[in-house]
A = this chain, B = another copy of it.
Amino acid sequence: MNINKNYFDLKESYLFAKVSQKIREYKAQNPNNEIISLGVGDVTIPLAPKIVAAMSKAVLEMGAADTFHGYGDYEGYLFLRQAVCGYYAGKGVRLSDDEVFISDGAKSDLGNILDIFSEDNTVLIPDPVYPVYVDTNIMAGRRIEYMDGNLENCFLPMPNAGTKANIIYLCSPNNPTGAVYNKEQLSQWVKYALENDAVILFDGAYEAFIQDGGLPSSIYQIDGAKKCAVEFCSLSKTAGFTGTRCGYTVVPRELERGGASLNKLWLRRQSTKFNGVPYIVQRGAEAVFTGEGLSQIKRDIAYYLENARIIADALTELGIWFAGGRNSPYIWLKCPDNMLSWEFFDFLLERANVAGTPGSGFGSNGEGFFRLTAFGSCENISEAMRRFKTALD
């Protein structure tokens, strides 16, 4: 019996554990100080009333013989796939319902999609990055190339003709940096992928935060993308579903590699290793895409974006460089006085009783940077930024 030895190449992820531990220690020494956390990327506003009503009804349906639901389709109920198609139509993207796969979240599918690709492919991953892209590929033993996000490119790395890669991860709006690719930039990525026979795995988990109409909220708004990109979306941040678990993955029918349809390969993967998302949750997700549902979730997103504006305004006032904060719930800032990421973490915790996430935890290019999130209450965030300013004064 041999285990998968690639697991030994994984780094233990101490980032959030270390953040929690440092906060605990500080609290133990300073029991009267109230700490405000702008560290965790988790939503705080409860599910919208339209979603709650839909799920309440669905639970009762599951308890009655006439309306009970057993196994659903592996790829999700048609009612939800059609609702997703309607949402895309609103972005000017036409999808057919068999191009949409309902998932239990973008994270699962971003990892599981790798099953359909050979292990000898090279993957291209931005640094800094959401750690799941790296770890899932290490587990499969794939060769990883990194592309640098930095001050020069505003943490939006662009294709380099000298780099040959088969699988490319893009996340826009980005976690952790909050940076958003514009159409011209995404067009260059699509062109690169088509020229290199590569596939883009486009993580659009934060698309609902985009407010500037000129910015693309789906890669399929770029010509040619259906021939080179899979798109992963989630209701986690869009509609507060981090604990409710529902997302969707788009695999266009036009997307073929090595003579095979990726759409069919993915359906085969899902029908073999997945049994679909709970009926109750799919009814809740369907409610998100109704007129009433969309207006309710837009109100919640506006609340988080107002929080982001408060953070951004404070940083602007202090003359601190940052990305994000406008079309994203994340603010990625350059640590003042050239502090290192963990130095600034300690400084902020001790001087302002505010916790964030050290950028170095997202990759080597994150050193010297710091992530704040706009989740939480407006009162707490305003208070946090007041303390932040005082500490740096």
List residues of A whose CB falls within 8 A of some B CB.
1-5, 7-8, 10, 42-49, 51-52, 55-56, 59-60, 62-65, 67-72, 104-105, 107-108, 111-112, 115-121, 132, 135-136, 139, 166-167, 197-199, 240, 242-245, 257-258, 260, 262, 265, 268-269, 272-281
Of B1, B104, B277, B281, which one neighbours A197 at CB under 8 angstroms?
A: B1
The 8 closest A-B pairs by CB, nearest first: A111-B273, A52-B63, A2-B118, A69-B243, A42-B70, A46-B68, A1-B166, A70-B242
Contact B244 A278 (CB under 8 A): yes
* Bound-complex Cα distance A276 to B240 (A): 15
Question: In the complex, how many angstroms separate the beta carbon of A309 from the nearest chain B beta carbon?
Answer: 22
Contact B258 A1 (CB under 8 A): yes
Residue of B nearest to A272 (CB): B135
Contact A136 B273 (CB under 8 A): yes
Tell me which residues across on chain B come within 8 A of A276, comparing CB atoms.
243, 245
Tell me which residues across on chain B come within 8 A of A55, comparing CB atoms.
59, 62, 280
Q: A52-B62, A55-B59, A111-B273 are in contact. List 11 more A-B contacts (CB 8 A).
A: A1-B197, A1-B258, A5-B258, A7-B260, A44-B68, A52-B63, A59-B280, A68-B240, A115-B139, A243-B276, A244-B280
Contact A70 B44 (CB under 8 A): yes
* Bound-complex Cα distance A60 to B257 (A): 46
Tell me which residues across on chain B come within 8 A of A43, comparing CB atoms.
70
Contact A274 B63 (CB under 8 A): no
* Bound-complex Cα distance A265 to B6 (A): 11
* Bound-complex Cα distance A282 to B36 (A): 30
Given known contacts A2-B117, A3-B265, A278-B278, A243 and B10 CB-to-CB distance under 8 angstroms: no
Contact A243 B108 (CB under 8 A): no
* Bound-complex Cα distance A49 to B62 (A): 10
Given known contacts A1-B198, A117-B2, A245-B278, A268 and B7 CB-to-CB distance under 8 angstroms: yes
Contact B243 A70 (CB under 8 A): yes
Question: In the complex, how many angstroms separate the beta carbon of A357 from the nearest chain B beta carbon?
Answer: 15
Question: In the complex, how many angstroms separate the beta carbon of A298 from the nearest chain B beta carbon?
Answer: 17
Of B108, B121, B135, B275, which one neighbours A245 at CB under 8 angstroms?
A: B275
Question: In the complex, how many angstroms separate the beta carbon of A236 from the nearest chain B beta carbon?
Answer: 8
Tell me which residues across on chain B come within 8 A of A139, comparing CB atoms.
115, 269, 272
Q: Could you show 5 A-B contacts with beta carbons less than 8 Å apart?
A: A3-B118, A4-B265, A68-B240, A107-B275, A281-B281
Question: In the complex, how many angstroms separate the beta carbon of A233 from the nearest chain B beta carbon?
Answer: 14
Residue of B nearest to A106 (CB): B275
* Bound-complex Cα distance A104 to B116 (A): 21
Residue of B nearest to A8 (CB): B260
* Bound-complex Cα distance A43 to B70 (A): 6
Question: In the complex, how many angstroms separate the beta carbon of A47 from the nearest chain B beta carbon?
Answer: 5
Contact A279 B4 (CB under 8 A): no
Given known contacts A52-B60, A273-B136, A7 and B116 CB-to-CB distance under 8 angstroms: yes
Residue of B nearest to A109 (CB): B273
* Bound-complex Cα distance A139 to B243 (A): 31
Contact A52 B46 (CB under 8 A): no
* Bound-complex Cα distance A111 to B115 (A): 11
Question: In the complex, how many angstroms separate the beta carbon of A114 from the nearest chain B beta carbon?
Answer: 9
Tell me which residues across on chain B come within 8 A of A243, comparing CB atoms.
62, 68-72, 276, 278-279
